Structure 1
């Protein structure tokens, strides 16, 4: 397995492909062994052989993509756990991809539990801070498109009542201003989300607190915003993977 991986690494270093002899030398193995492994990898779809040169195949590309996604989850998870411990609140990380809200990771603890997803976050973006923050980063046409697919509806007595009111709220938000949501998604919970700029991808980091600790919400959100600014490079790299 390790020898096969060394060969794949050697092939990946040559965008235009490389011959077996060169790959064997770079992978540090006898040529007969390299030939055997190269044929096996080609048969399994990890490599393609074209005019005596080996290049990465579709299976290798899928493997690399899967590895990149796992690396992203690990990096973001470590950052979130750090902020959870430093600020003492549950933390959430979400993206807007392919027209939907995607909560990528949540970090909570025994003493600071995350909000339970009792209504699908994708269907109720209008009602929670995460969704509101992501939608607020979109242009008006994209906002309306999302709301045409996931219509505004009451989740709790505090939920925004209609699309027009929600769009006015978005228009009134200042650039990079935290989005505050009080019991609109879950009774007894208040939440805040801060926008993250990472190329063309809308992203957000959010926190939540029990409603009786609402006075802590904005200071904690401001502190998180400062911390995110310090690690924006790490987050931007993770989002782009």
Structure 2
């Protein structure tokens, strides 16, 4: 009985962390109690333990946020996931000749966790560890397309839609319309929205432990419609393989 209660407490702790993350990073005690459908004393006891260990923190306004000790865990997990996908990223470069990236959802942004660079001198220069807005990147839009429109509205409500370039999407209506197209065709396109002169094709990784996407990108002179016709089937194969590896890990 004691072991079962212990396992239940561990599950509740992880549920709370997930709920805080889903809420955008900080919540009130009562909000957590409603979302978790647990009594306030239970929530308070679990949060007190998380705060004491550094996995949660209480803000000056009495709200609770994710703690700094989670950062290291996330960084290590991202690196391991990135290493897991390296063969598929290298395979994309060998077959398509352009830079391949793996990126995951990190709060309300996307973070690049692995990359196989193009052999060309002129290529995209996004580096591993860079965090970008979701609405202006191929990988970010591929991830957003996996969410429902209400979740997208909540994220945009927190981040806004700043223009990275003159081609960036800057209205919620345009973003939702673009996401509907992505869901219909199965992949996202960043057409100079993050970096002028660069085009990117991206797909979400099915079954990934966290929302994840893979992209191939390069100068628009090389990454044209003919490139897309070659790249989409190869990209689809790569994300399927990465998803299978993640599920088996």
Q: Does TM, scored on the shorter chain, surpass 0.5?
A: yes
Q: What CA distance in whole angstroms lies between the structure 2 residues aligned with 1:88 and 1:162?
A: 34
The SS at the match of 1:170 is: helix
Matched, 1:223 2:223: no
Q: What CA distance in whole angstroms lies between the structure 2 residues aligned with 1:96 and 1:237?
A: 20
Question: Alignment length, in residue pairs?
Answer: 175
Matched, 1:116 2:121: no
The SS at the match of 2:214 is: strand
Give the direction of change, closer, same or farther, for the CA distance of 1:100–1:217 in structure 2 (3 Å limit).
same
Q: CA deviation at 1:177?
A: 0.5
Judge conservation of contact 1:152–1:161 (CA < 8 Å) in 2.
Answer: yes
The SS at the match of 2:205 is: strand
Judge conservation of contact 2:79–2:113 (CA < 8 Å) in 1.
Answer: no
Aligned pairs for 1:138-177 (under 5 A) are: 138-174=147-183, 177=186
User: Among residues 84, 104, 114, which one is paired with 1:105 in the alignment?
Assistant: 114
Q: What CA distance in whole angstroms lies between the structure 2 residues aligned with 1:208 and 1:192?
A: 6
Q: What CA distance in whole angstroms lies between the structure 2 residues aligned with 1:149 and 1:123?
A: 14
Give the direction of change, closer, same or farther, for the CA distance of 1:163–1:210 in structure 2 (3 Å limit).
same
Could you state the TM-score of these two structures normalised by the residue count of structure 2? Answer: 0.60
Matched, 1:180 2:189: yes
Unaligned runs of 5+ in 2: 1-71
Q: What CA distance in whole angstroms lies between the structure 1 residues aligned with 2:109 and 2:76?
A: 23
Q: What value does the CA root-mean-square deviation take over the aligned residues?
A: 3.1
Give the direction of change, closer, same or farther, for the CA distance of 1:114–1:92 in structure 2 (3 Å limit).
farther
Judge conservation of contact 1:97–1:201 (CA < 8 Å) in 2.
Answer: no
Q: What CA distance in whole angstroms lies between the structure 2 residues aligned with 1:151 and 1:64?
A: 28
Judge conservation of contact 1:90–1:208 (CA < 8 Å) in 2.
Answer: yes
User: Among residues 69, 84, 90, which one is paired with 2:93 in the alignment?
Assistant: 84
Give the direction of change, closer, same or farther, for the CA distance of 1:199–1:79 in structure 2 (3 Å limit).
closer
Write the deviation string for residues 101-133 of structure 1: whole angstroms up to 9, x where unpaired.
121111103326652349x96452211111111
Q: What CA distance in whole angstroms lies between the structure 1 residues aligned with 2:241 and 2:82?
A: 19
Write the deviation string for residues 25-56 of structure 1: whole angstroms up to 9, x where unpaired.
xxxxxxxxxxxxxxxxxxxxxxxxxxxxxxxx
Judge conservation of contact 2:143–2:211 (CA < 8 Å) in 1.
Answer: yes
Q: CA deviation at 1:207?
A: 0.6
Q: CA deviation at 1:66?
A: 8.5
Judge conservation of contact 2:166–2:193 (CA < 8 Å) in 1.
Answer: yes
Could you state the TM-score of these two structures normalised by the residue count of structure 1? Answer: 0.62
The SS at the match of 1:201 is: coil
Judge conservation of contact 1:138–1:202 (CA < 8 Å) in 2.
Answer: no
Q: CA deviation at 1:93?
A: 0.6
Give the direction of change, closer, same or farther, for the CA distance of 1:65–1:208 in structure 2 (3 Å limit).
closer
